[in-house]
Amino acid sequence: MDMNVFETPHSGRTLGVHLVKTHDMMVKWGCPDTWCKAGLFHSVYGTEFFTKVTTDRDSVKKAVGEKVETLVYLFCELPKKRISFLINCDYDQNTKMALLAIAAANSLEQGGRSQIAQYMNLLPPRLAENIALTEEELRGPWEVPSANIG
């Protein structure tokens, strides 16, 4: 299956680089293998933010298996307000957690910090702690600006 992900531009580099880094981040966090594999393919069908590179679900299923492909498809179908949707949707808990973890890795890998705390509050504590450690490694610790009162 050739989707040209290492030739497809994405956030100032290639989609392939982004997908691999998202996957590797999830592995580092200790996410289940199924979630990590879904992170590796998470935007191949396109999202509200990114153009699709394939519509061939059967080829993706053959490459990664049905469970992983389902997570990839569901992630690609998420609306822009992912967190609100996932809180209120009727997906089973494992699917919600997988999609939240993929969304957190996707966001953090691209430099997004604004929603990381929200993702961490919804994910299991061990996973949230690992996300916080990765966030600090990538960006340095969050600092509260000091007021210069004098």
Instruction: Name the domain count of the chain.
Output: 1
The C-alpha atoms of residue 138 and residue 22 are separated, in whole angstroms, by 13
Look up the domain containing 49 and give its range. Answer: 9-137
Q: What is the CA radius of gyration of the chain?
A: 16
pLDDT given at position 3: 65
**Token pair listed for 86:** 């996932």
Q: Is residue 90 part of a domain?
A: yes
In a domain, 150, yes or no: no
Kindly state whether residue 127 falls inside one of the protein's structural domains: yes
| DSSP secondary structure letters along the chain | ----TTTSEETTEEHHHHHHHHHHHHHHHT--HHHHHHHHHTTTT--SSS--S---HHHHHHHH-HHHHHHHHHHHH--S-HHHHHHHS---HHHHHHHHHHHHHHHHHTT--TTHHHHHHHS-HHHHHHHHHHHHHHH----PPPP---
147 is a domain residue: no
Read off the pTM.
Answer: 0.84
Tokens of 131: 């996300």
Q: Is residue 38 part of a domain?
A: yes
The one-digit pLDDT tens for each residue of the chain (150 residues) are: 456 776 776 677 788 889 999 999 999 999 999 999 999 999 888 777 766 666 788 988 998 999 999 999 999 999 988 899 999 999 999 999 999 999 999 988 887 767 788 888 899 999 999 988 888 887 665 554 444 444
Domain-embedded: residue 142: no
Q: For residue 16, is it within any domain?
A: yes
* Residue 44 lies inside a defined structural domain of this protein: yes
